[in-house]
């Protein structure tokens, strides 16, 4: 009798969520290992972060290293284990739901999703600033906002294409990313060899993190390392989650480290810290270190890279809205898939609408450069909090699903319980530190800490308030329709392997 009850509890525990069942049947599996590495890098790696970091001088280097060790490594190991344990569409939503319950699953998924709204509001400004740098131009406020909206909706339009087509674009531009990184670093080395370091070298600064004078850099570092869990939003679209997932994390993280360190070093070697623009500095240094015309071409190239990266954001994060619709946290309309592209059209469009509202509302209140960084600070706070929803679930999963760990073969954090606790404690402490330095310390020299906290705190609180509204109203609207009726429209899709591969 005891064994029968235990078997019944296990069966109920392991009952597939709708989001673990439906996407496997209706979404095409097109994500190769190389494609996943490219997607991982585009989601996480924004070398504009090297501009902010380089403004801190040589202490930026140990801050990068500290952020990698205290956040990127623990987070990468946690998501690789959870992604192998539950290889389905929705990533952090599934992990938190399986270990912490449905409500916490929604909160974790929401906090992991909301960065796409903030990033999509700031990225068009970044693209525009690089184009203005390339053409040595200036624009008025109204035209600036209009062009940002045009860029955003061009990205949204491209994101609605087939995933396979988007993947080919990302794979090609990924190679260009490496070429640009090499140009920045080599130009910096050549300039330093001829003229010496623009920022005087200090062994202490280059080896010891300076939290007293440059603590804000730690928050900045973690912002530019968050997102390791995001590709798992598309778990049902991996060709093989268990094979490609860990490789994506390892190779993608290695690529991040190389790109960030080389571009930060290149900028530090060429420009004094007080002359580095917080957005375009990483390309502006080529105006000093490279032959005439190189900076302008590089600025256009990086604008294109950010454009493609923003497209990858729209594609990847739209899956979380689709999942919320499947699990009836949102109305049925959010589960709509285009029959030809198999993209969640409504999800992509709503992301564009929300980001458009932020662009119009915020960029009319301050300078384009400052608001871009304010948005990134608010983004950092919300996104880092979502990290607890893939760190804590690892500990719970090890206990709650001990039978699966004993009987199944999949990648897991090495070192048994000791390895898990070291990973989670280090990752949690690093995350808390990142939240503090993202909120309490201004990332812009000319902006006081009080002003910084007012902006970033308001942005973060606004996003949390939106989450409450979405949960209450979305849940109420979604539950007016039965689960079967909510999914009925998906039955018309061709579910054959041949149909899904086209």
DSSP letter string, 291-342: -TTHHHHHHHHHHHHHHHHHHHHHHHHHHHHHHHHHTTSS-GGGG-B-TTT-
Distance, in Å, from the CA atom of 463 to the CA atom of 459, rounded to the nearest integer, reads 6
Tokens describing residue 6: 């235990």
Positions of the chain with pLDDT lower than 50, given as ranges: 495-502
Q: Provide the whole-model pTM.
A: 0.86
Residue 496 forms part of a structural domain: no
Number of folded domains in the chain? 1
Residue 241 forms part of a structural domain: yes
Residue 15 forms part of a structural domain: no
Residue 19 forms part of a structural domain: no
Sign of CA dihedral 206, 210, 216, 219: positive
Distance, in Å, from the CA atom of 206 to the CA atom of 64, rounded to the nearest integer, reads 11
Angle at 429 between CA 426 and CA 434, to 5 degrees: 120
Range of the domain at 429: 30-205+213-482
Name the DSSP class of 234.
B
- Comparing CA positions, the residue from 27, 343, 34 lying closest to residue 159 is 343
Residue 10 forms part of a structural domain: no
**Which pLDDT score, from 0 to 100, does residue 402 have?**
92
CATH number at residue 380: 1.20.1740.10
Residue 498 forms part of a structural domain: no
Segment 17-54, tens digit of pLDDT: 788 888 887 778 888 889 899 889 988 888 888 998 99
Segment 139-189, tens digit of pLDDT: 888 898 899 999 999 999 988 887 777 788 888 888 999 999 999 999 999
> Which positions ≥6 away from 101 have C-beta within 8 Å?
none
Residue 465 forms part of a structural domain: yes
Can you say whether residue 338 is alpha, beta or left, with left for phi > 0 and alpha for psi between -120 and 50 degrees?
Answer: beta
Residue 492 forms part of a structural domain: no
- Angle between helices 216-223 and 60-67 in degrees, nearest 10: 50
**Cβ atoms of residues 348 and 318 within 8 Å:** yes
């Amino acid at each position: 009798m005891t064994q029968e009850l235990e078997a019944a509890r296990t069966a109920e525990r392991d009952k597939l969520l709708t989001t673990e069942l439906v996407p496997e049947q209706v979404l095409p599996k097109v994500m190769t290992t190389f494609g996943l590495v490219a997607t991982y890098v585009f989601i996480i790696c924004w070398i504009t972060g090297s501009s902010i970091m380089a403004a801190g001088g040589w202490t930026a280097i140990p801050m990068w290293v500290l952020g990698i060790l205290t956040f990127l490594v623990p987070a990468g190991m946690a998501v690789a284990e959870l992604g192998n344990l539950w290889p389905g569409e929705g990533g952090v939503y599934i992990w938190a739901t399986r270990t912490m319950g449905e409500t916490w699953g929604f909160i974790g998924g929401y906090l992991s999703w909301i960065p796409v709204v903030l990033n999509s509001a700031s990225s068009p400004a970044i693209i525009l600033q690089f184009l203005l740098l390339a053409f040595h131009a200036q624009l008025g406020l109204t035209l600036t906002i209009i062009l940002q909206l045009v860029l955003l909706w061009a990205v949204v339009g491209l994101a609605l294409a087939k995933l396979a087509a988007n993947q080919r674009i990302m794979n090609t531009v990924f190679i260009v990313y490496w070429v640009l990184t090499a140009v920045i670093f080599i130009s910096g080395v050549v300039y330093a060899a001829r003229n010496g370091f623009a920022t005087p070298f200090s062994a202490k600064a280059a080896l010891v993190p300076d939290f007293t004078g440059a603590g804000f850099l730690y928050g900045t570092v973690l912002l530019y390392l968050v997102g390791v869990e995001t590709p798992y939003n598309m778990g049902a679209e991996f060709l093989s989650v268990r094979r490609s997932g860990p490789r994506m994390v390892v190779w993608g993280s290695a690529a991040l480290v190389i790109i960030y360190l080389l571009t930060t070093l290149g900028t530090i070697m060429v420009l004094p810290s007080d002359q580095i623009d917080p957005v375009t500095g990483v390309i502006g240094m080529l105006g000093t270190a490279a032959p005439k015309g190189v900076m302008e071409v590089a600025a256009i190239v990086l604008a294109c890279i950010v454009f493609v990266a923003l497209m990858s954001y729209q594609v990847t994060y739209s899956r979380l809205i689709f999942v919320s619709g499947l699990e009836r946290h949102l109305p049925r309309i959010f589960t709509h898939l285009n029959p030809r592209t198999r993209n969640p059209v409504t999800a992509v469009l709503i992301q564009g609408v929300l980001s458009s509202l932020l662009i119009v509302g915020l960029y009319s209140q301050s300078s384009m450069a400052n608001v871009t960084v304010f948005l990134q600070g608010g983004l950092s706070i919300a996104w880092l909090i979502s990290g607890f929803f893939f760190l804590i679930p690892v500990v719970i999963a090890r206990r709650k699903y001990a039978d699966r760990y004993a009987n199944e073969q999949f990648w897991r954090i090495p070192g048994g319980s000791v390895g898990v606790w070291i990973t989670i404690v280090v990752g949690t402490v690093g995350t808390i530190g990142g939240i503090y330095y993202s909120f309490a310390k201004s990332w812009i020299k000319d902006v006081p800490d009080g002003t910084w906290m007012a902006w970033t705190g308001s942005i973060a609180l606004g996003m949390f308030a939106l989450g409450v509204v979405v949960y209450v109203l979305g849940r109420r609207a979604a539950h007016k329709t039965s689960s079967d009726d909510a999914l009925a429209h998906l039955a018309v899709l061709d579910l054959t392997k041949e149909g899904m591969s086209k």
